[in-house]
């Protein structure tokens, strides 16, 4: 494998990463919507928002066009087929989606989108902290939209497990690796591994983030 791609190959690699991340998040949205017993349209919309929301917000903020789902419009058909297929399959098999089942594609998507978003922002000449933030937004915003539409407090902010923090550290890994003149491809793989890996460790170990502890949060 060539670890130092030229601009054209890098663009191809980033598209491949975004495709995979989109698929992973679509699955996670599918499961979340099913658990809320939304109807067929709701399932499709929530899966779509989760899959495309982060990348679209990144592109709006960076003023980048066309969007991923405009340039690769076929992905919209894939999403539609996936939703219809999953609903038919679930109904036939009397299977029920579990919360746990959604966590693994979600962790994978987290790492992929972090690396992808951070790299794209760096390519546009953003300062390192802004690039890392763009990576976090790409990785986290889809899930936040999913939770807002399902009328939950976004789990990224409230479940007390590291989530955005994994994206944050993954983004800095990419920035650091590139600063150390590591080959581009290796830096991306490293960033994905750090973000997804840390999230996996967090899920496996029940490590929790520090929480605000005041005397009486309901007092006035």
Q: Tell me the CB-side half-sphere exposure of residue 16, using CA atoms within 13 A.
A: 9
Q: Which is nearer to a copy of itself, 104 or 186 (CB)?
A: 104
Report yes or no: 34 and 83 within 8 Å, Cβ to Cβ.
Answer: no
Q: Which is nearer to a copy of itself, 38 or 203 (CB)?
A: 38
b/e code 184-207 from CB counts within 10 Å (16+ = b): bbebbbbbbebbbebbbebbeeee
We find the least distance from the C-beta atom of residue 106 to a copy of itself, in angstroms, to be 15
Query: Who contacts 8 (Cβ-Cβ below 8 Å, separation ≥6)?
Result: none
Q: Which is nearer to a copy of itself, 153 or 179 (CB)?
A: 153
We find the least distance from the C-beta atom of residue 1 to a copy of itself, in angstroms, to be 33
Q: Which is nearer to a copy of itself, 16 or 40 (CB)?
A: 40
Q: Which is nearer to a copy of itself, 5 or 64 (CB)?
A: 64
Q: Phi and psi for 60 in degrees, rounded to 5?
A: -65, -45
Report the alpha-carbon distance of residue 132 to residue 119 in Å, rounded: 9
3-state secondary structure (DSSP) of residue 127: coil
We find the least distance from the C-beta atom of residue 9 to a copy of itself, in angstroms, to be 26
We find the least distance from the C-beta atom of residue 34 to a copy of itself, in angstroms, to be 5
CA distances from 157 to 44, 64, 139, 161 (A): 24, 27, 13, 9
Site for a copy of itself, rule CB under 8 A: 33-43, 45-46, 56, 60-61, 63, 65, 67, 69-70, 73, 76-77, 87, 90-91, 94-100, 126-127, 129-130, 133, 144, 148-154, 156-160, 162-165, 208-220
We find the least distance from the C-beta atom of residue 194 to a copy of itself, in angstroms, to be 17
């Amino acid at each position: 494998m060539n670890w130092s791609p030229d601009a054209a190959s890098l663009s191809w690699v980033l598209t491949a990463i975004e495709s995979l991340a989109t698929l992973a998040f679509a699955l996670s949205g599918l499961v979340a919507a099913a658990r809320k017993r939304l109807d067929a349209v709701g399932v499709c919309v929530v899966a779509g928002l989760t899959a495309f929301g982060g990348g679209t917000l990144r592109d709006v903020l960076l003023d980048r066009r066309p969007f991923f789902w405009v340039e690769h419009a076929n992905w919209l058909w894939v999403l539609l087929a996936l939703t219809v297929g999953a609903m038919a399959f679930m109904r036939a098999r009397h299977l029920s989606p579990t919360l746990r089942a959604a966590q693994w594609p979600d962790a994978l998507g987290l790492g992929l989108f972090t690396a992808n978003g951070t790299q794209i922002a760096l390519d546009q000449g953003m300062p390192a902290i802004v690039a890392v933030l763009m990576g976090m937004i790409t990785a986290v915003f889809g899930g936040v939209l999913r939770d807002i539409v399902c009328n939950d407090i976004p789990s990224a902010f409230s479940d007390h497990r590291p989530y955005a923090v994994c994206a944050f550290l993954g983004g800095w890994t990419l920035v650091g690796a590139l600063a150390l003149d590591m080959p581009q491809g290796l830096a991306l793989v490293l960033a994905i591994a750090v973000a997804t890996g840390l999230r996996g460790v967090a899920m496996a170990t029940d490590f929790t983030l520090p929480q605000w502890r005041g005397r009486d949060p309901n007092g006035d």
